[in-house]
């Protein structure tokens, strides 16, 4: 560009550049700092860490010392797997049913299914607790799965319906005009083509379930506690250094999962669009 | 080929699940709030009048909404420039940056909250750096202050602001920006008269998500805010699981829902209006 750099343009570059740099720092730095802190040899959470060691990871993976943490992590995985599994089946069916429906009721239903995204989680968590208690249910893994199913549904619906709307309708028409049944077309044409969208949604829903606090807070008891609730307890009482080690494990797991999902279904592209 | 009615029925299982597990609990919660006593036997508006008769609860509601608005401000002030920079990057760097933005979203909120304890604590990063440089002589108290909480929530909620923003900005025709520059507009003027109005839907969507998420962020609010900063989620939790006064907890949680939904409706109204202005 031959245009002369004016004072305004230079100030633009400076201000926008500095703020953007601050944003990246604020996003990334805490994550790296926690990773470094988890390798401390000291008794307290300090930065810089007091000598490097794997002692807190050793304690974390020792079943006799950290059995409770292992159990809550197991609960988290079971709840996330079931709620995502059921969610994918119900969510995909609903998306297929509503995608080409222009009726007003279909739009309302769509908004209704997406509303857990903005409804305060604490409100739904309490509502679920009151509802299940008054119906006479005791806290159990099943109730947690039911609660997580609702709050993670928007993630499944969003990516699934996005990939379905990009599907060329001509493909479905030609499949049908060649004599394929509705179900055959679904099985051999539609589902394979929207599978990456479903997978991306399932991944996001799974992670949202693992991460969920408001619903688990109200629906869990000592037996069905999930990992985030347990970590919250550890942070509120004594600042147990094992929290740093758990964080280290979760950061590594999220990073690896993210890489896998990026290579297989292009997760970042789906979240951006 | 199936008829439209049959296809529509595929949404029935999810509809039933949402009716039984989402709508019914919320309606029941409204019902429970109209009982006076914690045994849920005596109908009346006592819980509502009791909750709103206490001036302290007004302050809690206002503080909660202000916390959401402050978090919106900080995420916009540093998130929007990052989205602008994103637009100028090469596709390769864009991929790296979007990875960096999405990654924290997949990290548990508890982990992100914990990270800020390490950063802001008495012996944390900020204090050791400032003490080491001799800028301060006493450690700053950053945890259990609203400033610390807003800084933490800025990072925790940032992806929710950036994703819709980047999604909308990517669809803005780059020729518009070049045309604006060719016609002699400064980069500031192009930002405020061309890019900002066109990116308004993304900005509003980001604000909605950040507001909804930060006002209900129980863990961050209690762990970083401590016991002296009280927001609605803590009141709901105390009434429901410590005091066991479900009607009062119901009133508190419905107040949270109504006030958050009101602000969200106002924000989307502003969004639609500004959208209309641009298109008209």
**CA closest to A76 among chain B residues:** B108
Please provide residue B172's backbone torsions phi and psi, each rounded to the nearest 5 degrees: -75, 130
3-class state of residue B43 by DSSP:
strand
Interacting residues of B74 by C-beta distance below 8 A, sequence separation 6+:
B150, B151, B153, B154
A239 interfacial to chain B (CB closer than 8 Å): yes
Torsion sign over Cα B143, B148, B149, B155 = negative
A255 found inside a domain:
yes
Contact in structure between B220 and B152 (CB atoms under 8 Å):
yes
Range in A18-32, A127-141, B68-82, B131-145 the model is least confident about: B131-145
Please give the average per-residue pLDDT across B141-154, as a whole number.
93
Whole-angstrom distance, CA of residue B144 vs CA of residue B226? 5
Whole-angstrom distance, CA of residue B32 vs CA of residue B101? 41
CB contact under 8 A, A128 and B25: yes
Interacting residues of A272 by C-beta distance below 8 A, sequence separation 6+:
B98, B163, B166, B167, B170
All residues of chain A having their beta carbon less than 8 Å from the beta carbon of residue B112 are: 30-31
* Tens of pLDDT, residue by residue, chain A (273 residues): 445 567 878 888 899 999 999 999 999 999 999 888 888 888 877 777 778 888 889 888 888 888 889 999 999 999 999 999 999 999 999 999 888 777 888 889 989 999 998 899 999 999 999 999 999 998 899 999 999 999 999 999 998 998 888 888 888 888 888 888 888 888 888 999 999 999 989 999 999 999 999 999 999 988 889 999 999 988 887 777 888 899 999 999 999 998 998 888 888 777 766
B225 found inside a domain:
yes
Residue among B116, B124, B112 at smallest CA distance from B148: B116
**Chain B interface mutation, best of A30, A42, A158, highest count of B Cβ atoms under 10 Å:** A30
A189 interfacial to chain B (CB closer than 8 Å): no
CA angle A181, A184, A186 (to 5 degrees): 110
Torsion sign over Cα B96, B99, B104, B108 = negative
A30 found inside a domain:
no
pLDDT, position B275: 60
pLDDT, position B1: 46
Kindly tell me if the per-residue pLDDT of B29 is higher than 60: yes
Interacting residues of A244 by C-beta distance below 8 A, sequence separation 6+:
A34, A37, A38, A40, A45, A56, B114, B118
CB contact under 8 A, A12 and B186: yes
All residues of chain A having their beta carbon less than 8 Å from the beta carbon of residue B10 are: 93-94, 96-98
**In sequence order, what are the beta bridge partners of A52?**
A40
pLDDT, position B76: 96
A161 found inside a domain:
yes
A97 interfacial to chain B (CB closer than 8 Å): yes
B35 found inside a domain:
no
- CA distances A26 to A188, B156, B159, B208, Å, are 46, 10, 12, 21
Whole-angstrom distance, CA of residue A235 vs CA of residue A227? 12
- CA distances A109 to A157, B198, B208, Å, are 12, 29, 20
ipTM of this complex prediction, to 2 decimal places: 0.89
**Chain A interface mutation, best of B60, B97, B118, highest count of A Cβ atoms under 10 Å:** B118
A110 found inside a domain:
yes
What residues 167-186 of chain A have any CB closer than 8 A to a CB of chain B? 176, 182
- CA distances A55 to A51, A61, A227, A242, B67, Å, are 11, 10, 21, 9, 39
Contact in structure between A235 and B223 (CB atoms under 8 Å):
yes
Which residue has better confidence, A272 or B98? B98
A51 found inside a domain:
no
Per the structure, the complete domain to which residue A149 belongs is given by 56-272
Contact in structure between A141 and A79 (CB atoms under 8 Å):
yes
Contact in structure between A225 and A164 (CB atoms under 8 Å):
no
pLDDT, position A4: 58
A137 found inside a domain:
yes
- pLDDT tens-digit readout, B36-48: 988 888 899 999 9
- pTM of the predicted protein model: 0.90
A70 found inside a domain:
yes
The average confidence (pLDDT) of chain B is: 89
pLDDT, position B279: 41
Number of A/B CB contacts below 8 angstroms equals 278
Whole-angstrom distance, CA of residue A151 vs CA of residue A153? 6
CA angle B33, B264, A216 (to 5 degrees): 55
**Which of A37, A121, A257 minimises the CB distance to B118?**
A37
- pLDDT tens-digit readout, B183-201: 888 888 888 888 888 888 8
pLDDT, position A165: 86
Range in B11-25, B109-123, B158-172, B178-192 the model is least confident about: B178-192
pLDDT, position B237: 95
Whole-angstrom distance, CA of residue A258 vs CA of residue A11? 37
**In sequence order, what are the beta bridge partners of B43?**
B35
| Residue B156: CATH number of its domain | 1.10.3720.10
Which residue has better confidence, B225 or A80? A80
CA dihedral B185, B188, B193, B198 (to 10 degrees): 120
**Chain B interface mutation, best of A268, A270, A273, highest count of B Cβ atoms under 10 Å:** A268
What secondary structure does DSSP assign to B80-139, as a single string? HHHHHHHHHS-HHHHHHHHHHHHGGGGS-HHHHHHHHHHHHSTTSHHHHHHHHTTS-SS-
Residue among B2, B4, B22, B17 at smallest CA distance from A98: B4
**CA closest to A209 among chain B residues:** B108
pLDDT, position A3: 53
Contact in structure between B273 and B75 (CB atoms under 8 Å):
no
**Which of A26, A34, A94 minimises the CB distance to B114?**
A34
Q: Tell me how crowded residue A46 is: count the other CB atoms within 10 A of its CB.
A: 18
B11 found inside a domain:
no
CB contact under 8 A, B112 and A30: yes
Whole-angstrom distance, CA of residue B155 vs CA of residue B9? 42
Task: Count up the domains in chain B and report the number.
Answer: 1
Rg for chain A, CA atoms, rounded: 23
CB contact under 8 A, A235 and B113: yes
B13 found inside a domain:
no
A103 found inside a domain:
yes
What is the band of B134 on the pLDDT scale with cuts at 50, 70, 90? confident
**Chain A interface mutation, best of B107, B125, B227, highest count of A Cβ atoms under 10 Å:** B107
Contact in structure between A270 and A197 (CB atoms under 8 Å):
yes
pLDDT, position B277: 47
> B188-212 burial, b for 16+ CB within 10 Å, e for fewer?
eebbeebbeebbbbbbbbbbbbbbb
**CA closest to B80 among chain A residues:** A20
Per the structure, the complete domain to which residue B222 belongs is given by 43-279
All residues of chain B having their beta carbon less than 8 Å from the beta carbon of residue A251 are: 107, 111
B193 found inside a domain:
yes
What is the band of B173 on the pLDDT scale with cuts at 50, 70, 90? confident
Kindly tell me if the per-residue pLDDT of B219 is higher than 50: yes
A101 interfacial to chain B (CB closer than 8 Å): yes
Contact in structure between B236 and A146 (CB atoms under 8 Å):
no
pLDDT, position B8: 82
Please give the average per-residue pLDDT across B100-118, as a whole number.
88
| Residue A76: CATH number of its domain | 1.10.3720.10
């Amino acid at each position: 560009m031959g245009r002369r750099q004016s004072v305004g343009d230079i100030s633009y570059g400076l201000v926008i550049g500095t703020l953007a740099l601050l944003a990246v720092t604020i996003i990334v730095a805490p994550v790296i700092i926690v990773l470094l802190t988890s390798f401390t040899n000291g008794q307290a959470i300090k930065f810089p860490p007091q000598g490097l060691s794997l002692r807190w990871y050793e304690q974390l993976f020792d079943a006799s010392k950290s059995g409770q943490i292992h159990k809550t992590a197991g609960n988290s995985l079971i709840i996330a797997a079931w709620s995502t599994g059921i969610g994918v089946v119900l969510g995909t069916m609903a998306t297929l049913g509503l995608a080409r429906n222009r009726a007003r009721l279909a739009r309302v239903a769509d908004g209704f299914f997406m509303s857990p995204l903005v409804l305060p989680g604490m409100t739904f968590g309490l509502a679920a607790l009151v509802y299940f208690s008054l119906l006479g249910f005791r806290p159990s893994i099943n109730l947690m799965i039911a609660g997580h199913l609702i709050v993670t549904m928007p993630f499944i619906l969003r990516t699934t319906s996005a990939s379905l709307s990009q599907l060329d309708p001509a493909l479905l028409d030609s499949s049908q005009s060649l004599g394929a049944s509705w179900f055959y077309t679904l099985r051999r044409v539609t589902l394979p083509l929207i599978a990456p969208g479903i997978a991306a949604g399932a991944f996001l829903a799974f992670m949202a379930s693992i991460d969920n606090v408001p619903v688990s807070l109200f629906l869990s008891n000592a037996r069905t506690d999930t990992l985030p609730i347990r970590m919250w307890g550890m942070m509120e009482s004594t600042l147990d250094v094992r929290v740093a080690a758990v964080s280290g494990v979760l950061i590594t797991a999220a990073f690896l999962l993210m890489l896998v999902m990026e290579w297989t279904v292009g997760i970042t592209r789906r979240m951006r669009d | 080929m199936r008829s439209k009615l049959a296809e529509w029925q595929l949404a029935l299982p999810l509809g039933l699940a949402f009716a039984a597990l989402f709508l019914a609990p919320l309606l029941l919660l409204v019902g429970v709030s109209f009982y006076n006593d914690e045994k849920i036997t005596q109908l009346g508006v006592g819980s509502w009048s009791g909750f709103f008769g206490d001036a302290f609860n007004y302050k809690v509601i206002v503080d909660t909404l202000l916390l959401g608005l402050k978090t919106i401000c900080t995420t916009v002030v540093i998130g929007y420039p990052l989205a602008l920079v994103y637009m100028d990057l090469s596709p390769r760097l864009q991929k790296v940056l979007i990875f960096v933005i999405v990654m924290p979203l997949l990290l548990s909120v508890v982990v992100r909250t914990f990270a800020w304890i390490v950063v802001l604590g008495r012996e944390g990063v900020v204090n050791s750096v400032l003490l080491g440089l001799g800028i301060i002589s006493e450690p700053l108290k950053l945890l259990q202050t609203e400033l610390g909480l807003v800084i933490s929530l800025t990072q925790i909620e940032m992806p929710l602001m950036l994703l819709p923003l980047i999604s909308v900005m990517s669809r803005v025709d780059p020729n518009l920006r070049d045309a604006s520059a060719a016609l002699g507009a400064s980069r500031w003027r192009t930002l405020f008269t061309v890019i900002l109005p066109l990116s308004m839907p993304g900005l509003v969507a980001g604000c909605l998500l950040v507001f909804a998420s930060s006002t209900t962020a129980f863990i961050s609010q209690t762990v970083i805010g401590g016991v002296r900063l009280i927001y609605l989620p803590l009141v709901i939790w105390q009434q429901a699981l410590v005091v066991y006064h479900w009607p009062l907890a119901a009133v508190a949680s419905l107040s949270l829902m109504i006030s958050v939904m009101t602000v969200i409706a106002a924000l989307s109204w502003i969004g639609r209006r500004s959208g209309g202005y641009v298109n008209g």
